[in-house]
Structure 1
């Protein structure tokens, strides 16, 4: 299966949130000692929230259609603006709103994917 690349018709608005999701196993012992270990080799995953604040309805439909088509679980490629690398992502959390003047906005949370599909 060949993964699609998200190429939105409009770049996201300025103000992206970038928060790592870190998976570790932690065991606390009775004497105050704690032992931690990473859960897997890819235990740090990027989670970014992108916003498109002013979209024409056709542009909103194009972005939302891409996300719906991937169903929240199918990975896709996307390059964050002004970053050099294309990374693999999934998106299972987004919302849209209609603004005045026939415009819309989208906020979507992308999670870095380590899925083996390419």
Structure 2
């Protein structure tokens, strides 16, 4: 993050709440992965043969949640803040689902 190198919180101040609002537009499916109900034809994963788009999208979503939580901490937002609690619940849910299913364990080790 730019803030980590510069110490300038301006970008965090300007992007934190819009980032949370954007993350809230996504839903989780019953299987614990990101639901593909966001509309449109654009997704976070590359196109190709035999790609697992929902799994890839869920990982990108997980990384975005963790980065936004990191922004909240840098801004001094309490861990009890409803937005932070909501994001942490999503992170924990994705971790629990992936561990229970055995999916992408190596990626979770790398990304938290």
Rg bigger for which structure?
Answer: 1
For the aligned pair, the TM-score class normalised by the smaller chain equals under 0.3
Relative to the length of structure 1, the TM-score reads 0.25
Give TM-score scaled by structure 2 length: 0.25
Q: Report the structure, 1 or 2, having the larger strand content.
A: 1
